Chains A and B, each alone.
Chain A
């Protein structure tokens, strides 16, 4: 099993640019979660999907953030326009809907300058 796969692993971008983070969940998992981690705020849940449908996006910081899950094997988190305060590690995680254990990817390290 390849685990949860995220890309890019590292990205440095200029303020105002669009950033797209990608996630491939574990095959057969039908819940997907996006988290953001910073030193100040710890690990924050941004949004989660069940069966490709967004269930709760109350953690999404503002309209500059959007997430999609067009199919069971792919999700994106987009920031447009990006700002320096968006610099963080973004984690994707997945689980089967009738199970509890969630599995995390290795994260995407974003730096906005």
Chain B
């Protein structure tokens, strides 16, 4: 079973920041939080990951709460091409990687 909880769907206006939440209350100290997205008809694509500190790359920012039980993926200026299913997972080096249902993000023009 997936170990994360995400809302099934969200809407965001084009040009605005999209904030996607994820609960992972059973995460342990050595497990990373990973975010992937899947655009229709493509394989899942890596976005960003983090352990304890907030992270930022060219695609997104990741905010992890101090207790590490939840995180938020931020797409700072959403475009129509960001419409996809976004998956939050956590794993350590030896885990088999289980995906949940993810959040279907709709970017509205």
Number of inter-chain CB pairs below 8 Å:
48
**B93–A105 contact, CB under 8 A?**
no
* Mask: chain B, 37-66; 1 = CB below 8 Å from A; 0 = not: 010001111100100000000000000000
Interface residues of A in 1-55 (CB under 8 A from B): 4, 33, 35, 42-43, 45, 48, 55
The verdict on A98 contacting B99 (CB below 8 Å), with A91-B44, A103-B46 known, is no
**B93–A100 contact, CB under 8 A?**
yes
Max chain B Cβ within 10 angstroms of own Cβ: one of A42, A43, A93, A101: A43
**A42–B100 contact, CB under 8 A?**
yes
**B44–A101 contact, CB under 8 A?**
no
| Prevailing SS type, chain B contact patch | loop
Size class of A's contact patch?
Answer: 20 to 34
A11 to chain B, nearest CB (A): 15
The verdict on A100 contacting B91 (CB below 8 Å), with A33-B97, A43-B99, A45-B96 known, is yes
**B44–A43 contact, CB under 8 A?**
yes
- Chain B residues in the interface with A (C-beta under 8 A): 32, 34, 38, 42-46, 49, 87, 91-93, 96-102
Question: In the complex, given contacts A43-B44, A106-B43, A107-B42, what are 12 additional A-B residue pairs having Cβ atoms less than 8 angstroms apart?
Answer: A4-B43, A33-B97, A35-B99, A42-B100, A43-B87, A45-B96, A93-B97, A100-B32, A100-B34, A102-B97, A105-B43, A106-B42
